[in-house]
Amino acid sequence: MDEIVTLESRQEAALHAVAEKFITQHKEDAVKALKEMIVLNGHLQERLDAVEGGRRATR
């Protein structure tokens, strides 16, 4: 992990609500929801890495 993020109570409450909704969409299976989130984050990280690689190449 590159960075630790600290949330305010409002942000924490909003994040909690989104997490609950995500788990609900996965029929209350928290492990299934977590696995999908890991996969989604992996895809996003690959896209970010590709963008960063493109930025470095053009500098």
Hey, where are the domains in the chain? 28-59
| Structure confidence at residue 1 (pLDDT) | 54
Nearest residue to 36 (alpha-carbon basis) of 49, 23, 48: 23
pTM of model > 0.85: no
Alpha helices in 1-59 (DSSP H): 9-25, 30-58
**pLDDT at residue 53, rounded to an integer:** 85
pLDDT along the chain (59 residues), means of 10: 87 96 94 95 93 76
Largest CA distance in the chain: 47
Which class for 16: exposed (0-12), middle (13-18), buried (19 or more C-beta within 10 A)? exposed
pLDDT for 59 equals 62
